[in-house]
Amino acid sequence: MSYGGFDKYVSAAEKREKANKSLIKLRKKNPDIEPIIIEGRTLAKSWWGKAWNLNLESYADYENRIGRGKSYVRTNMVLDLKITKGIVTAKVQGSTAKPYDVEILIDPLSDEKWKQVISLCNNRIDSLEQLLEGKFPEELEVLFKDKKYGLFPSPKEIRFDCSCPDWASMCKHVAAALYGIGARFDTNPMLFFELRSIDSKELIKKSVEQKLDSMLKNAGKKSKREIAEKDVQDIFGL
């Protein structure tokens, strides 16, 4: 309800209470719903969640609208959010009793960009655990954060729809769901690869293969760090 063209102020506590009541009702019908629960004011804590949110906020197309969803996701109004290959579906509590349905479609990574990613990794990521924890060399962050590589999607690769009556190109419910994706990556970063149709295991496999090839090529070469036989004798008094 609006008053004089302005929405009635609703406190964060009231929003949480309303969201919790809706969540209880939804769980009775569907025990498998997956709400986004934010503890504290930090929307994402992991490298993947933070990087996802920073990417969204870095685009001029989104910078004036994405923030509309922060209070919604902070007050746990994203009652359900599921990520599958190229599709995110969510139920977001709004001003009405019935939650709104949100759908977000994200294009898969192109073959050209995938080849660029493989080339730039060049045996720099040793394990899937290292990848998922975001504990790879800092210079590899360019693969995820630099817009020209596009591992994180650009606005032109994201399409969305909401059942609410708001005709804005990005309503509060869509914005909340987009932030909810980042929060979901906190608990399961593998979902990022699922969403973008990327084979994370293939990424590691290629990196390991490149490292092995490099080791084999250098196997017969003398290292500059080898100590000459005469020097070894001098060191050990032989």
Span 193-222, pLDDT tens digits: 899 988 877 777 765 555 555 545 555 555
Q: Is the pLDDT of residue 146 over 80?
A: no
Work out whether strand 6-7 and strand 2-3 pair parallel, antiparallel, or are unpaired. Answer: antiparallel
Partners of residue 159 on adjacent β-strands: 105
| Residue-level pLDDT at 2 | 44
Higher-confidence position of 231 and 189: 189
DSSP string, 219-233: TTSPPTTPPPHHHHH
Q: Is the pLDDT of residue 223 over 60?
A: no
As a whole number, mean pLDDT of residues 13-19 equals 88
| Residue-level pLDDT at 49 | 93
| Residue-level pLDDT at 219 | 56
Q: Cβ atoms within 10 A of the Cβ of 237, count? A: 5
Distance between CA atoms of 75 and 183, rounded to whole angstroms?
13
How would you label 223-233 residue by residue, b for 16+ Cβ within 10 Å and e otherwise? eeeeeeeeeee
Of 102-116, 141-155, 202-216, least confident by mean pLDDT is 202-216
Of 73-87, 97-111, 115-129, least confident by mean pLDDT is 115-129
Q: Is the pLDDT of residue 184 over 60?
A: yes
Contacts of residue 229, Cβ cutoff 8 Å, sequence gap at least 6: none
Distance between CA atoms of 130 and 127, rounded to whole angstroms?
5
Distances (CA, A) of 171 to 101, 105, 113: 12, 15, 30
Half-sphere exposure of residue 97: CA atoms within 13 angstroms, side-chain side: 1
What's the whole-model pTM score?
Answer: 0.80
By three-state DSSP, how is residue 160 classified? strand
By three-state DSSP, how is residue 234 classified? helix
Element (H, E) at 151: none
As a whole number, mean pLDDT of residues 22-47 equals 91
Please choose, from the candidates 177, 10, 36, 181, the residue with its C-alpha nearest in 3D space to the C-alpha of residue 101.
177
Domain ranges for the chain: 9-217
